A and B are shown apart, each in its own frame.
Chain A
Amino acid sequence: MSRVHDMGGRFGDGPVVPEGEDAPVFEKDWHARALAVTLASGALGKWNIDVSRHARERLSPKDYTRFSYYEKWISGLADLLVETGVLTLEDLKGEGGDAPHPLAHKAMTAEAVPGVLAKGGPADRPSNVAPAFVVGQAVRTARPAANRLVNGGHTRLPAYAQGAVGRVLLMHGAHVLPDSNAHGLGEAPEPLYAVVFPATELWADAESPDDEVVLDLWQSYLESA
């Protein structure tokens, strides 16, 4: 079922505290370092974006809740580096030695940074899964919201939208399926849709009957309604 990151609709979090438009991009120096270390480590090629998201989600609920944003990043990164064999537990303890690493040739150089950022990592792929729905069609999301390949695995269907009926608003083409790609089971691209739900379909006490929520949902999350 769900994990602690799946918090859409949750009660009790209190006010949102806006920041000025000219607030620093990084509130603390270590926030900037955490982001940069994470991006640079990604260049080693040992994981994809779905794996790295899932690493943060797999933090224990206790850690996920008490860690600030970039603490989640750096802790998820440390876990991934060990799980993928890049570092050892001894390395994390500071007892691993400084011998050059076999992956050192992949380290991102300063000169490579603009090109890497500009290139990005598009998620659309050719797919032989034909679209099953058309714009305007009524669809129902899966219930429970859960990965169907790996028990407790990564999925992008939030719990608040499980078992809900909406209609297809946009077709995005075929995109990599996170439920598969986060677990080394292949990219498994399939059609992705923006689906619009009336707020009254999702919430017991919607603020207005005219309000709506849109989610991007993969075809395997949906059935015709």
Chain B
Amino acid sequence: MRPMPHDDHDHPHALLPPEPALRVKALETILTRKGLIDPAALDELIDTYENRIGPKNGARVVARAWTDPAFKAALLADATPVVADLGYYGRQGEHMVVVENTPVQHNMVVCTLCSCYPWPLLGIPPGWYKSDAYRARAVREPRKVLADFGVSLPEGTSVRVWDSTAEVRYLVLPMRPDGTEGLSEDELAALVTRDSMIGTGLAEVPS
């Protein structure tokens, strides 16, 4: 086997200021001065993920699936081209699989090794998704993790946890809440929470 280079504790990053905000600023400044990054591009990247790409995208997909059986069938069969047709393709969403919650099976998504997440549909993951506690516990005790979110599953529902170990990204299709007959697609989308599409929550019941 080959040995691994650069594998000691003495890493170059230690030369930057230790305080995190200063560390980021220092590296940004060095790269900007050398022309390697453009601050305007950084602003554009941040604006994209703060304001334009987020869980509202996924919610639209779910609401459509709740109201259009042909769309739902296509989505569950091969999600990537279906969501791409709605404009939801790109970085960290190149290979999409949608998994459906039913009365007998609840799905939940984690990335135990890092923080893989379907960016085009859900945006940047929340802090808890990237936390050690979620990464460590979701695979071993998903029901206790669900309890941390105030969710308990009915008797007879099994849990299937998806550990995102490759470049395939998973989106949970939550169950449509009761009492939503006659709601429009937009009204339904408003009930679809980010957590319900990760599988740590359920879709909201209309008030």
Contact = CB atoms under 8 A, between A and B. Distances in A.
Interface of A: 5-11, 13-19, 21, 23-30, 32-37, 39-41, 44, 49, 53, 56-60, 62-63, 68-71, 74-79, 81-83, 86-87, 89, 91-94, 96, 98-101, 103-104, 106-110, 112-114, 116-124, 148-153, 156-158, 160-161, 170, 172, 175-176, 178, 183, 192, 194, 196, 202-203, 207-208, 210-218
B2 A30 contact: no
B186 interface: no
A40 B53 CA distance: 17
Nearest to A53: B114
A156 B112 CA distance: 10
B24 A216 contact: no
A108 B38 CA distance: 7
Interface stretch (B43-51, B63-71, B177-185): B43-51
Given A69-B115, A100-B34, A113-B41, A214 B162 contact: yes
A159 B178 CA distance: 41
A151 B45 contact: no
A11 B136 CA distance: 7
SS class, residues of chain B in contact with chain A: mixed
4 nearest A-B pairs in the assembled complex, by CB-CB distance: A8-B112, A104-B35, A216-B166, A75-B13
A86 B43 contact: no
A113 to B, nearest CB: 4
A117 B48 contact: yes
Contacts of A175: 95, 166-167
B127 interface: yes
A112 B195 CA distance: 31
Contacts of A196: 160
Nearest to B110: A8
B21 A28 contact: yes
B6 A41 contact: no
B38 A8 contact: no
B94 interface: yes
B148 A122 contact: no
